[in-house]
Amino acid sequence: MHGSPTEKPSLARGAGQYVLILAGDPELAELLATTLELAGYRVSLASTTAEALDRLDADRYDLAVVDTALPELGGLARMQRPVIAHRPPILYLTPYDSLGSILPGLGLEEGDYVTKPFRMAEVLARMQVLLRGTAPGRAGRSGHSPHYGDLVLDDTLCRARRGSRELDLTPAEYRLLRHLLVNAHRVLSKEQISRYVWGDFRGGNAIEQLVSRLRRKVDRDVPALIHTRRGFGYWLGKAGGEG
């Protein structure tokens, strides 16, 4: 059983550092992403080693949190692709009974590990140690802004623009847009969105109204980026499928 975002005592907090989460289990990925973002980190998700390597090729992260349940982690640990100039430290999440066989192959010269089942408080504390002395952008991400195509977010000022047009967003709309953007092409349920935006689940049509308001602002330009997967939730991305 994994930890809880509401554990006591107070959780260690980040300072806006950029974290890549590699986890194939959707529930684990959602727990980590929600907890880390609430704790002050900026998060991107990957569900396969290949996807994680692609993200590391394209951008620079201060830390990676990796679930060792995924296969073929050796390439990620060694980061053999020469294009990956910046190699962040890695925090591994691994079963206790797998330590002997897994960790020697992964190497821990620039990392640490937490054994499963874990408490989120321990994960955040280990992250803080690995990130000690790292402030936002100090891992070489100067000027980085979360973006998808011509949609760009500024987390420092909590502003968003699409192309040259600035979007006039409420705080809830900005949080929703950011959650959709960092999970691009992933369907997020109403409950996942509600807990991220407001910290609890709101029933009724609260999410539908929020998504509708955000769509009117974001999708005035084409192509439309915010889509509905009926019966499942919402996702952001360019596609010719259902919207």
Q: What is the CA radius of gyration of the chain?
A: 18
Using DSSP, how many helices (H) and how many strands (E) does the chain show? Answer: 8, 11
Q: What is the pLDDT of residues 29-38, one digit of tens each?
A: 999 999 998 8
Instruction: Classify burial at 231, counting beta carbons within 10 Å of its beta carbon; exposed 0-12, middle 13-18, buried 19 or more.
Output: exposed
Q: How far apart are CA 102 and CA 85, in angstroms?
A: 25
**Placement of tokens 């005035």 in the chain:** 220
Q: What is the pLDDT of residues 47-102, one digit of tens each?
A: 888 888 878 777 778 899 999 887 666 555 555 444 455 678 888 888 765 555 55
Which amino acid does the sequence have at 72? E
Q: Which domains does the chain have, with CATH numbers?
A: 18-130 (3.40.50.2300), 147-236 (1.10.10.10)
> 190-198 and 171-182 helices cross at what angle (nearest 10)?
130
Strand order in the sheet with 111-116: 42-46, 18-22, 63-67, 90-95, 111-116
Name the band, by pLDDT with cuts 50, 70 and 90, for residue 178.
confident
For residue 105, give the H/E element and its range: helix 99-106
**Placement of tokens 């070489």 in the chain:** 140
Q: How far apart are CA 102 and CA 116, in angstroms?
A: 13
- 10 versus 227: the higher-pLDDT residue is 227
Name the band, by pLDDT with cuts 50, 70 and 90, for residue 215.
very high
In this predicted structure, which of 1-10, 65-74, 175-184, 198-207 has the lowest mean pLDDT? 1-10
Q: What is the pLDDT of residue 32?
A: 92
Q: What is the pLDDT of residue 109?
A: 47
Name the band, by pLDDT with cuts 50, 70 and 90, for residue 9.
very low
